[in-house]
DNA sequence: ATGGAACCTACTCT
DNA sequence: AAGAGTAGGTTCC
């Protein structure tokens, strides 16, 4: 059955949102790209997005039994997109501020990421989904995280509908994951030691005897609390340490100035900026963690977490890497296949030299029919 | 108190 | 072709 899908237009420039980058830079793991249409399930529907030259096109798919009242659905979908992408925040003006900082403090190695990588912004994601997703992220890579999060939905979520022959499920609630068999099932699904963390964290959200203060309402309420309070709240959860807590703060709880510090961010601080760590990376501890975090916070200001995401994305060699990339038709080279600069680190006697080498992203590894 | 292992798995690289 | 190395860390000792 081929339906004529209704697409609506949203006037958003690609300098404000680059879907190909934002949805692939490691903040969200569930968007699928099917023949150049981005798809994602939320609550009771599948959201569809397409990036055109001058705007964003959106559509939505409801469950089979909920096809009426289109006007309301359109408004709800539009509201979601505006909120999820924080479209009321102008990215272009932030970029121009960051560029000034970058030019002043960055060690010059090629053109600025704030020129080279437009349209990268921090999403405003659901706190619960973000929590579970980033519990999965520990000691892990984007490709596997995406597989795991998708697996959580198909095994524990609620079926919504199909799109292009692929079934979409909602992201499960805590009660869906707080069952005794969950941990074993997650282990069978390849979650490794994170299986227990997810199970135990889900349990804390449904157990109002031992953890009366840990509820979804409280988690969501952290959006309007201070960073310190939100950070402390999150540290109570299993599998959530300082870095994961900060990811949740930045990407779900409106803490725009928080820079989650991982090995990668530490490298950027050392290599591209003039951060002098007192200690080696091996001895990363609470103190060093917050030193680096505050270093970036002071550098870029109120939206330092957003700025950092651009630096991080620019540091990745391949943003797509075949994650959730599906083609229902013949294999062809992506039209958004972009030429990027990949830094190669060449180590000499006792000095690191960064050299720019041009790399053309070839056909995606997983882009097979 | 604090640094270092151990922890799961699926890659990639050699 | 096996085996080490690693991927946006956290927990435990």
Pick the residue with more confidence: A85 or A350? A85
Asked whether strand B has any atom less than 7 Å from the CB of A192, the reply is yes
Whether A200 is catalytic: no
pLDDT at A336: 32
* Residue whose structure tokens are 């879907």: A19
Q: Which of A104-118, A247-261, A284-298, A315-329 is most confident?
A: A247-261
pLDDT value at residue A334: 34
Entry pTM: 0.88
The pLDDT, as a whole number, for residue A1 is 61
Distance from CA(A95) to C1'(C7), angstroms, rounded: 29
Does position A225 have pLDDT exceeding 70, yes or no?
yes
Overall residue count recorded for chain A in this entry: 369
Residues lining strand C at under 7 Å (Cβ) are A 25-27, 137-142, 144, 193, 197, 237-245, 247, 259-265, 308-309, 312
Q: Report the 3 state secondary structure along A150-173.
A: HHHHHHHCCEEEEECCEEEECCCC
> In this predicted structure, what is the pLDDT of residue A328?
60
Region A335-339 average pLDDT: 29
Least confident of A171-180, A222-231, A323-332, A360-369: A360-369
The three-class DSSP label of residue A238 is: coil
- Please give the nucleotide, over all strands, whose C1' is closest to the CA of residue A280: B3
Q: Tokens representing A129?
A: 């989904």
pLDDT of residue A126: 98
Tokens linked to A314: 């620019």
Question: Among residues A86, A129, A134, A157, which one has the least CA distance to residue A220?
Answer: A129
Alpha-carbon distance A200 to A337, whole Å? Answer: 41
- Mean pLDDT along residues A232-237: 98
Strand B closer than 7 A to residue A283 Cβ: yes
What percentage of chain A carries pLDDT values higher than 70?
Answer: 83
Tell me: pLDDT of A278 over 80: no
Statement: residue A259 has pLDDT above 70: yes
Separation in Å: B1 C1' and A282 CA: 18
Bases of strand B lying below 7 A from some protein CB: 2-4, 7-12
More reliable by pLDDT, A350 or A34: A34
CB of A190 lies under 7 Å from some atom of strand B:
yes
Across-strand partners of A221?
none
Closest by CA position to A28, among listed A139, A134, A154: A134
Position A369 scores a pLDDT of: 18
- The encoded tokens of residue A247 equal 């990811």
Residues A215, A225: Cα–Cα separation, whole Å: 15
pLDDT-derived band of residue A356, with 50, 70 and 90 as boundaries? very low
Lowest-pLDDT choice from A23-37, A247-261, A332-346: A332-346
Show the DSSP H helices in chain A as ranges.
19-22, 70-84, 91-105, 113-116, 127-136, 142-156, 174-177, 182-188, 194-206, 216-221, 227-235, 242-252, 263-271, 286-300, 304-315
Whole-number pLDDT of residue A332 = 29
Nucleotide nearest to A194 (CA to C1'): B8
From A21, A32, A204, A243, active-site residue: A243
In this prediction, residue A321 carries a pLDDT of 55
DSSP-assigned letter for residue A223: G
Say how far apart CA A138 and CA A240 lie, in whole Å.
Answer: 9
Q: Is the CB of A194 under 7 A from strand B?
A: yes
Q: Bridge partners of A8?
A: A58
Rounded Cα–Cα distance for residues A226 and A196 (Å): 29
Phi-psi map region of A239: left, alpha, beta (phi>0 left; psi -120 to 50 alpha): left
Q: What is the per-residue pLDDT across A56-70, written as a single tens digit (0 to 9) for each?
A: 999 999 999 887 789
- Give the CA distances from residue A94 to residues A103, A122, A186, in Å, rounded to whole numbers and listed in that order: 14, 12, 41
Average pLDDT for A334-350: 27
**Cβ of A200 < 7 Å from strand B?**
no
What pLDDT, on a 0 to 100 scale, did the predictor assign at position A57? Answer: 98
Task: Report, as an integer, the average pLDDT of A185-205.
Answer: 98
pLDDT tens digits, A135-172: 999 999 999 999 999 999 999 999 999 999 999 999 99
pLDDT exceeds cutoff 60 at A181: yes
A365, two tokens: 């590894």
Residue that wins the pLDDT comparison between A218 and A267:
A218
**Spatial separation of the C-alpha atoms in residues A144 and A137, rounded to whole Å:** 9
Q: How far is the CA of A285 from the C1' of B1 (A)?
A: 12
Averaged pLDDT of chain A: 86
CA A119/CA A113 separation, integer angstroms: 11
């Amino acid at each position: 059955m081929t339906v004529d899908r209704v697409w609506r237009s949203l006037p958003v420039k690609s300098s404000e949102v680059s879907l190909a980058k934002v949805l692939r830079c490691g903040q969200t793991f569930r968007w699928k790209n099917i023949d150049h249409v981005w798809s994602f399930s939320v609550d009771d529907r599948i959201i569809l997005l397409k990036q055109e030259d001058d705007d964003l096109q959106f559509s939505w798919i409801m469950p089979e039994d909920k096809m009426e009242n289109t006007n309301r659905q359109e408004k709800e979908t539009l509201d979601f997109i505006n909120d999820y992408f924080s479209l009321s925040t102008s990215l272009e003006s932030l970029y121009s501020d960051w560029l000034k900082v970058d030019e002043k403090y960055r060690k010059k190695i090629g053109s600025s990421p704030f020129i080279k990588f437009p349209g990268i912004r921090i999403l405003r994601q659901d706190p619960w989904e973000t929590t579970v997703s980033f519990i999965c992220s520990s000691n892990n890579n984007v490709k596997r995280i995406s597989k795991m999060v998708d697996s959580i939905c198909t095994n524990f979520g609620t079926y919504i509908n199909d799109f292009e022959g692929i079934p979409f499920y909602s992201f499960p609630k805590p009660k869906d994951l707080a069952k005794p068999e969950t941990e074993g099932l997650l282990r069978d699904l390849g979650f490794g030691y994170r299986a227990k963390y997810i199970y135990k964290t889900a349990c804390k959200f449904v157990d109002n005897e031992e953890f009366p203060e840990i509820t979804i309402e409280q988690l969501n309420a952290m959006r309007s609390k201070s960073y310190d309070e939100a950070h402390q709240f999150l540290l109570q959860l299993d599998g959530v340490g300082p870095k994961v807590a900060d990811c949740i703060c930045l990407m779900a709880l409106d803490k725009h100035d928080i820079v989650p510090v991982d090995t990668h961010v530490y490298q950027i601080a050392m290599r591209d900026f003039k951060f002098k760590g007192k200690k080696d990376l091996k001895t990363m501890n609470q103190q060093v963690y917050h030193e680096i975090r505050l270093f970036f916070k002071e550098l870029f200001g109120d939206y330092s977490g957003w700025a950092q995401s651009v630096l991080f994305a620019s540091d990745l060699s391949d943003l797509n890497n075949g994650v959730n990339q599906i083609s229902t038709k013949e294999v062809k080279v992506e039209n958004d296949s972009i030429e990027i600069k990949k830094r190669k680190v060449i180590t000499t006697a006792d000095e690191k030299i960064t050299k720019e080498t041009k790399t053309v992203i070839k056909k995606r590894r997983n882009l097979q029919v």
